[in-house]
Amino acid sequence: MHHKYVIRDRSAVWTGSTNWTHDSWTREENVIVALESRELAARYSDDFEQLWAKRNVMRSGRVGTAPVTAEGRQVRAWFCPGRGEKLAHRIAKAIGSARRRVRIASPVISSGPILGTLAQVASDGKLDLAGVVDLTQVREVIHQWRENRNAEWKEPLLRAALIRAPFSGKVSTPYYPGSIHDYMHAKLTVADDRVFVGSFNLSHSGEMNAENVLEIVDAALADRLAAFVDEVRGRYAPVEL
């Protein structure tokens, strides 16, 4: 259960990547979105009630994805696992259809549709593509792939995406009981003027977790979040795998 959201008075939503922990506020990079919208709040309420009533993550997230109005913008709310596979393909399509820029912030990238599209775009070299990951977690994922031998095909795609495009990686503290949590924890994708932002890592496991993402088309917001990604990736060295 990976959500981090609040519904206030059936009229506003607060969501994003930030866990409610001291480390999240002081040691990690995160993104928070707050929107006033009864329509949007109703979608989040539907998801919450599914979790609350069924007590089963895999039976949640079956919420409509039609656009709603939020502060003058058309916004889609995506919830996993009910819409996890469709969300991954939606983000991949946005990346593949971009004409000017793509910016990525995600601790790990392991979703097959997204990885394949990113590797293709990075290899083509025709698009302004850049991003930031949590390098410690990426290396752990690669190690798991090699140990399990069930997703080794993903490693060449990941290497193509992260090395052929200017991706930076934060070397965070590996997880262990009692460790600090200083991850690169933001989860967002900017594709031209379209933004995907929420709790969803660009990962295969994220498709099956309880997650939420807002899809917003807004040029000013896209510029702001692309600048955020560039600022964060500027803090860290280029990815080396």
Q: Which two tokens stand for residue 206?
A: 């994220």
The pLDDT of residue 149: 86
Q: Residue 154: which of 107, 118, 115, 123 has the closest Cα?
A: 115
**pLDDT per residue of the chain (241 residues) written in tens, 0 to 9:** 999 999 999 999 999 999 999 999 999 999 999 999 999 999 999 999 999 999 999 999 999 999 999 999 999 999 999 999 999 999 999 999 999 999 999 999 999 999 999 999 999 999 999 999 999 999 999 999 999 888 889 999 999 999 999 999 999 999 999 999 999 999 999 999 999 999 999 999 999 999 999 999 999 999 999 999 999 999 999 999 8
Q: Which two tokens stand for residue 152?
A: 């080794």
pTM of the model: 0.96
Rounded Cα gap, residues 158 and 92, in angstroms: 14
Residue 120 burial class via C-beta count within 10 angstroms: exposed 0-12, middle 13-18, buried 19 and up: middle
Q: Residue 223: which of 191, 201, 185, 183 has the closest Cα?
A: 191
Q: Which two tokens stand for residue 143?
A: 């190690």
The 8-class DSSP code of residue 16 comes to E
CATH class of 6-233: alpha beta
SS3 151: coil
SS3 152: coil
The pLDDT of residue 150: 85
Contact 190, 63 (CB under 8 A): no
Domain boundaries, the chain: 6-233
